Structure 1
Amino acid sequence: MAEEARWYVVHTYSGYENKVASTLAKTVENRNMQDLIPEILVPTEKVTEVKDNKTREVERKIFPGYVLIKMVLTNDSWYVVRNIRGCTGFVGPDNTKPLPLSDEEVQKLGVEKKNVEVSYQVGDSVNIVDGPFDGFVGTVEEIDTEKNRVRVTINMFGRETPVELELDQAETMDD
C-alpha cells in the first residue's frame, strides 16, 4: 500500500459511539478491508465515582459523540465509514474530503503510543537536552515508559531537586 494510514475523527449520534465502532469493525472484517482500516477507537478513561457512600470504577468516554478511525483514505473506505448507521460524518471543514489529525494532535490525544528507546537506567547520570532545564546534569531516579516520563534529580541552587521530563529530554552522558 503506497499511502500510510492516518487518524480521522467521525461524528456519531450521542450514545452510539460503541455501536458505530463495533458495526464498522464487523463491516471491515466482512469486506476484508483490514489493510484500509486497521484501527477503530472509542477513547475512554477509568474514573472513580462516589455515589451513596460507595466508590466504584466507571469507564467514561473522553469524547462523547466521536469515534477515532485509523484508515487509508480511499473512495471505498470513505464510503464504508460514511454509511455506517449512527455515523453523521467526518469532522472537518466539509464532508467531501475529510482532514486527518496532525501528528501533533495524535500525540496530544494519546491515541498512539510511540516507543522511545532509552539508553539510561535508574542511577545513571544524564544530560538534560531539552526544556527549561536544558544543560543541567542529573541522576535518574525513576523511569516510566508507559507515561513517557523520567524523574531526574538535579542540583539547583545548592539543593537536590527532582524534575519530571519526557524520556527524550534526557540522554546519557558521554564519558
Structure 2
Amino acid sequence: MSETSDTPREEWDDDVAAEESIDEVEETDVEEPEAEDADDVEESDEAPVAVVEEEGDDEVEEIDPVEEFKRSLRGQLGEWYVIHSYAGYENRVKSNIESRNVSLNMEDYIFQVEVPTHTVQEFKSGKKVPVKERVLPGYVLVRMDLTDESWAAVRNTPGVTGFVGLSNKPSPLSIDEVAKLLAPEPTEEAKKATAKASTGPAVEFEIGESVTVMDGPFATLPASVSEISPESQKLKVLVSIFGRETPVELSFNQVSKI
C-alpha cells in the first residue's frame, strides 16, 4: 500500500517543479529582450543629435586668420614703428637692435623687431621654388614704447638711418597697416583658389605704365611698372611707401591697368 501511494505524490511534486521551471524560462525569455530593445532605442535616438551638434560647432569655429592676428595685435604692449636701414642689411639691423636692447636693459620698452617677408615662387633649374622675399627693402619694424631713451637706443643702432615720420616724433603704424605687413600668409589651397578665380586672358604691360595693386599688403596702392618677365608672368613695380619708391614683385593678375 505505501509504495503505491508514494508514487503519485512524487510525480505530482515533479510536475509542480517542472511548471515553475517553465514559468522562470518564459519570464527570462520575454523580459530580457524588452530591456535590450529599450536600450537600443535610446541609443539610436541620441546618436544623430550628437553628430549634428558637432558639425554645427565646426562651422561656427571657423576663424579668419587675419582678423585673429589683428585681435592679438590689440593685446600687445607698445606700438609698431618703421625705421629706415640700408637695403640688404635689414636682418643685420634687426640683430643689432635686439643685441642693444639687452645690453642697454631696454627690454621693458623695446619688445619686438621684425623684417616683413612674403613667399614668392622662383624658377631654379627649371623648377618652381618658394623663396622668402623682403616686402619692404630698406625698412625694419619695431614694436616699442616710445621714450627718449628707447628712441635713442634704436636710432643709434648701427645700420639705422632714421625713423619714418618726424625726426623726433615718429608716427606709429595702424593695426591694419601692421596686419598687411606681418599677418600670416594664406595657405597654398587659398592661394590656388584665388589664382583660379582671378585667372583671365594675358595682359600686356609696358615699362613706365601706371597700374593699381589688387592683391597683397599693398592692395589699392598705385604703382608704375619697372620690369616685365613674360616667362614667369611677373612684374616688378615701384610703389610709393613712406615717401620712398620701393620695388615690389607681383604676378600679372595682382595688378590692374589704370
Relative to the length of structure 2, the TM-score reads 0.40
Shift of 1:25: 0.4
Aligned mates of 2:96, 2:130 — CA distance in 1: 27
- Residues 102-125 of structure 1, C-alpha deviation per residue, up to 9 Å, x if partnerless? 2232233345x7xxxxxxxxxxxx
Give the one of 89, 107, 111 matched to 2:179.
107
Shift of 1:46: 2.0
In the alignment, does 2:140 pair up with 1:59?
Answer: no
Shift of 1:20: 0.5
Give the AA of the match of 2:179: Q
Q: How does 1:30-45 map to 2 (within 5 A)?
A: 30-45=103-118
Shift of 1:48: 2.0
In the alignment, does 2:94 pair up with 1:21?
Answer: yes
Aligned mates of 2:127, 2:178 — CA distance in 1: 36
Q: What is the DSSP-based 3-state SS (H/G/I as helix, E as strand, rest coil) of the residue aligned with 1:56?
A: strand
Give the AA of the match of 1:20: V
Give the AA of the match of 2:168: T
Aligned mates of 1:104, 1:49 — CA distance in 2: 29
Q: What is the DSSP-based 3-state SS (H/G/I as helix, E as strand, rest coil) of the residue aligned with 1:38?
A: strand
Max Rg structure:
2
Aligned mates of 2:179, 2:123 — CA distance in 1: 31
> Could you tell me which residue of structure 1 aligns to residue 10 of structure 2?
none
Contact 2:119–2:130 (Cα < 8 Å) also in 1: yes
> Could you tell me which residue of structure 1 aligns to residue 123 of structure 2?
50
Residues paired across the two proteins, number: 110
Relative to the length of structure 1, the TM-score reads 0.58
Q: What is the DSSP-based 3-state SS (H/G/I as helix, E as strand, rest coil) of the residue aligned with 2:162?
A: strand
In the alignment, does 2:166 pair up with 1:97?
Answer: no
Q: How does 1:5-16 map to 2 (within 5 A)?
A: 5-16=78-89
Contact 2:120–2:130 (Cα < 8 Å) also in 1: yes
Shift of 1:90: 0.4
The structure showing larger relative contact order (alpha-carbon pairs under 8 Å, at least 6 residues apart) is: 1
- Residues 6-64 of structure 1, C-alpha deviation per residue, up to 9 Å, x if partnerless? 00000111111011100100110122211201100001112221134133221110111
Query: Structure 1 segments of 4 or more deviating over 4 A?
Result: none
Q: What is the DSSP-based 3-state SS (H/G/I as helix, E as strand, rest coil) of the residue aligned with 2:168?
A: coil
Aligned mates of 1:81, 1:65 — CA distance in 2: 15
Question: Structure 1 unaligned runs (5+)?
Answer: 114-143, 148-175
Q: What is the DSSP-based 3-state SS (H/G/I as helix, E as strand, rest coil) of the residue aligned with 2:110?
A: coil
Give the AA of the match of 1:44: T
Question: Structure 2 unaligned runs (5+)?
Answer: 1-76, 191-258
Shift of 1:5: 0.5
Q: What is the DSSP-based 3-state SS (H/G/I as helix, E as strand, rest coil) of the residue aligned with 2:107?
A: coil
Aligned mates of 1:86, 1:20 — CA distance in 2: 6
